Amino acid sequence: MHIGFLGLGNMGGPMARNLLKAGHSLTVFDPFPQAVAALVEAGARAADSPAAVAKAGVEVIITMLPTADHVKQVYRGKDGLLANIGPGVLLIDSSTIDPLSTREVAKYALAQGNPILDAPVSGGTGGAAAGTLTFMVGGPDSVFDQALPILSAMGKNIVHCGAAGNGQVAKIANNMLLGISMVGVAEAMALGVSLGMDAKVLAGIINTSSGRCWSSEVNNPFPGVLENAPASRGYSGGFGSDLMLKDLGLATEAARHARQPVALGAVAQQLYQTFSLQGNGGLDFSAIINLFRGEA
Ligand code: NAD
């Protein structure tokens, strides 16, 4: 299949490579020339704008962009995708953005005869490279079925979440809970250690008791508890605090539109905002524990 791919960053680059490995041909665009050159070396063709991708005779276009503003610009701009593709080309946006923007873009795509899915991912850069991402997909059943073989080349769990925008809803609800649970684990670990507990013993208790969660068990924020966690290598790698801040912002903003209270999500957002302001946005999001240990 001939696929267009826009946004060849930390996630999009390895995702595009997995499509090439699965035997698809790719036409790619990214304003960052080195990102394009790396994909061309791997066998893709380069285009010099979103419009050029749209006009390259592709059957499917995938976007993996930083924010909703980028997505709107790439889809709806003068030199963008929608103004330049023919009807029937399948569009898949895997960027993490707010559900309202997703639904707005979907409305314009559908009005001109282009099926479209939102398909944000979890699994991070490791999952993108290994082709084991989880895709949370919003859009009609028939379009989901059409996209399944393509998404399967980049991911392991492909979950249909319902109508357009629901992929983003699933993603931001999960990540809001992840942010809240990380702050909770950080607070509990810092409290226990400050009152004299050994961090490893405390983590062992939590992980065999009712406080257990992914943040305590797989990505424990206390240094030395888990040898392979970012906390034990200076909080490098992993999922950046600024990306968590972005996702918490999407969740609280979507909640505001829905008049839905997200009290703990808003607290977590403010804590990550404070942490980012202190210059820590590049650290793994488990480093938020330093706010509670007086080390931020
Ligand atoms: P990134 O900043 O590494 O990559 C984004 C890429 O988009 C860059 O190469 C940039 O040059 C390119 N770009 C910007 N404007 C463009 C345009 N007009 N046309 C084409 N390309 C353009 O970001 P990332 O880490 O790859 O994240 C991409 C998306 O995936 C974000 O929405 C992010 O929230 C989400 N996400 C990231 C992770 C992660 O661990 N990094 C995990 C899950 C989801």
Q: What's the pLDDT tens digit per position in 162-216?
A: 999 999 999 999 999 999 999 999 999 999 999 999 999 999 999 999 999 999 9
Average pLDDT rounded to a whole number, residues 71-86:
96
- Say how far apart CA 44 and CA 198 lie, in whole Å: 52
Distance 232 CA to ligand 1 centre (A): 27
The answer to whether 120 and 144 have CB atoms below 8 angstroms apart is no
Percent above pLDDT 90 for the chain: 96
Q: How confident is the model at residue 296 (pLDDT cuts 50, 70, 90)?
A: low
Q: What is the DSSP letter of 1?
A: -
Q: Are residues 45 and 125 in the same domain?
A: yes
Give residue 236's pLDDT band: very low, low, confident or very high (50, 70, 90): very high
**Contact between residue 81 and residue 53 where contact means Cβ atoms under 8 Å apart:** yes
Q: Could you count the other beta carbons within 10 Å of the beta carbon of residue 221? A: 31
The alpha helices in 77-213, defined as continuous H runs, are 99-111, 124-130, 141-152, 166-194, 199-207
Asked if 39 contacts 8 with a C-beta cutoff of 8 angstroms, the reply is yes
Distance 63 CA to ligand 1 centre (A): 9
Tell me how far the alpha carbon of residue 30 lies from the centroid of ligand 1, in angstroms.
Answer: 10
Answer yes or no: do 213 and 142 share one domain.
Answer: no
Burial of 33 (0-12, 13-18, 19+ CB in 10 A): exposed
* Per-residue model confidence (pLDDT) at position 112: 94
284 alpha carbon to ligand 1 midpoint, in Å? 17
Domain boundary among 163, 185, 215: 163
Closest Cα to atom 25 of ligand 1 = 10
Which residues form the catalytic set? 171
Q: Which atom of ligand 1 is nearest to the CA of 8?
A: 9
pLDDT 10s digits, 123-164: 888 899 999 999 999 999 999 999 999 999 999 999 999 999
225 and 112, same domain (yes or no): no
Which residue owns the Cα nearest ligand 1 atom 31? 66
Q: Say what the pLDDT of residue 231 is.
A: 97
| 157 and 198 both lie in a single domain | no
Instruction: Assign 293 a pLDDT band (cuts: 50, 70, 90).
Output: very high
Q: Are residues 39 and 74 in the same domain?
A: yes
Residue carrying the six token digits 């600024």: 242
Which of 26, 65, 82 to mutate to test ligand 1, by most ligand atoms within 8 A of the CB atom?
65
Nearest CA to ligand 1 atom 30: 95
| Dist. CA 222–CA 287, nearest whole Å | 8
3-state secondary structure of 167: helix
Mean pLDDT, range 35-53, rounded to an integer: 97
Q: How confident is the model at residue 295 (pLDDT cuts 50, 70, 90)?
A: low
Q: Copy the structure tokens of residue 201.
A: 């013993």
pLDDT, tens only, 20-31 = 999 999 999 999
* Structure tokens given for 85: 């593709």
Beta strands 155-162 and 2-6 are unpaired
Which of 145, 163, 181 is a domain's end point? 163
The tokens describing 208, both together, are: 């065999």
Domain count, the chain: 2
In a shared domain, residues 79 and 187: no
Domain that holds residue 287: 169-293
User: What six digits make up the tokens of 90?
Assistant: 């399948």
Whether residues 73 and 12 share a domain: the answer is: yes
Same domain for 124 and 99: yes
Do 102 and 52 fall into the same domain?
A: yes
Pocket of ligand 1 (CB under 6 A): 6-12, 29-32, 35, 50, 64-66, 70, 73-74, 95-96, 121-122, 124-125, 239, 243, 246
Residue 265: both structure tokens together: 């999500």
144 and 249 share one domain? no
Query: Looking at the structure, do residues 78 and 174 belong to the same domain, yes or no?
Result: no
Residue 83: partners with Cβ closer than 8 Å, 6 or more residues away: 51, 54, 76, 77
**What percent of the chain shows pLDDT beyond 70?**
99
Q: Whose CA is closest to atom 42 on ligand 1?
A: 124
Residue closest by Cα to atom 5 of ligand 1: 9
Over range 212-241, report the average pLDDT: 95
pLDDT at 50 over 70: yes
For residue 243, the ligand 1 atom closest to its alpha carbon is 34
What pLDDT sits at residue 238?
87
Which among 10, 93, 219 is the best mutation to test ligand 1's pocket, defined by most ligand atoms within 8 Å of the CB? Answer: 10
Instruction: Give me the residue label for tokens 């706010």.
Output: 291
Atom of ligand 1 nearest to the CA of 96: 32
Does the pLDDT value for residue 275 go beyond 70? yes
Instruction: Examine the fold and report which residue of 163, 180, 214 is the final residue of a domain before the chain moves on.
Output: 163
CATH number of domain containing 266: 1.10.1040.10
Ligand 1 geometric centre to CA of 111 (Å): 27
User: For the range 221-225, what are the long-range contacts, defined as Cβ-Cβ under 8 Å and sequence gap of 24 or more?
Assistant: 221/182, 221/185, 221/186, 221/189, 221/286, 221/287, 221/288, 221/289, 222/189, 222/190, 222/193, 222/289, 223/199, 224/199, 224/200, 225/189, 225/199, 225/200
CATH, residue 74 = 3.40.50.720
Please report the pLDDT score of residue 126 as a whole number.
87
* d(CA 11, ligand 1 centre) in Å: 6
H helices of the chain, in order, are 12-21, 33-41, 50-54, 68-76, 99-111, 124-130, 141-152, 166-194, 199-207, 214-217, 241-258, 263-275, 289-292
Best mutation site among 64, 122, 135 for ligand 1 pocket (most ligand atoms within 8 Å of CB): 64
Identify whether residues 212 and 81 lie together within a single domain: no
